[in-house]
Amino acid sequence: MGHVEILDAKTKDKLCFLDKVEPNATIGEIKSMFHKSPVLFDMFKLFQEPNLSKCCIIHLTIDTRYNASVLSLSLSQVFLTEYAGPLLIYLMFYFRVPFIYAPKYDFTTSKHWVVHLACMCHSFHYVKRLLETLFVHRFSHGTMPLRNIFKNCTYYWGFAAWMAYYINHPLYTPPSESTRLMISLRSQFCQIGNFSIHIALRNLRPPGSKTRKIPYPTKNPFTWIFLLVSCPNYTYELGSWLGFTLMTQCLPVAAFTLVGFIQMTVWAKGKHRSYLKEFRDYPTLRSPILPFIL
């Protein structure tokens, strides 16, 4: 028994992984396995071609050892794990469970109101993400390799612990009280905007459909930013973390915001290029993530 790795003939990007393939399997049998696989790909039309070799490259590897790289989880499982971790980790620091700070601080609470406000904002963010994963998002790809979950959890869980340690530290010195409430409100404004964009994108694709459409503003004022950017969900996400950074004035939060901004910019530019390539009438005024800038 072996596995089949299917690559795009032009870009060499991996399209599909099929496990437990017989060494003498035919192209027709491989196509049948693909269609029965729970993993869905946008390029499934390649397998409709009579001559598969013109469309993609197939690497057949025979190996009697178990190949752990083919293990995968559904995207909903991946995201639930990624987002539940930061929520629980932050709360552990907030409630100052034992073995984090000095014993005299076990299960004590901070005297600073901004610490409690930061916990509410952070918890709201990840509760929103969990609910969106369960009830809002529709995933075009069914699964993700198991190895990716370790990388993603290291990022989310690690930053959550780093931020929470300093914000909830007994020696933490908060910023002035004059502006933090206003900054917090702006941060939550962006959270609502992010949620509104996710709802608008969900409504573009009916259940079970793979039809892609150009997103346009709706009656919801939070979606009007579609006039200027292609990926306003990332714009709002950036705004919420900038607000959290200013509210806490904590270096780990600033680092998380910067890294997230870089990654979201990469995703936004890719999505923007995809829109321009797919839709000839795509609005030219839009930028990927920041209006008129980036």
Clarify whether residues 44 and 80 are in a common domain: no
21-45 pLDDT, tens digit each: 665 566 666 666 665 555 444 444 4
Tokens 């990624």 locate to: 82
Same domain, 174 and 227: yes
Q: How many domains is the chain partitioned into structurally?
A: 2
pTM of this prediction exceeds 0.95: no
Question: Domain residues for 128?
Answer: 72-278
Are 191 and 263 contained in the same domain? yes
Q: Do 191 and 229 reside in the same domain of the chain?
A: yes
Question: Sorting pLDDT into bands at 50, 70 and 90, what band is 148?
Answer: confident
Q: What is the mean pLDDT of residues 130-154?
A: 78
Domain end, chosen from 13, 37, 70, is at 70
> Could you report the per-residue pLDDT of 170-225, keeping only the tens digit for each?
999 887 766 677 787 888 899 999 999 999 999 887 776 777 889 999 999 999 99
Sheet of 56-62: strand order equals: 14-21, 2-8, 56-62
* Highest averaged pLDDT of the listed ranges 79-88, 210-219, 231-240: 231-240
129 and 156 together in one domain = yes
User: Is residue 103 predicted with pLDDT exceeding 90?
Assistant: yes
Q: Are residues 46 and 148 in the same domain?
A: no
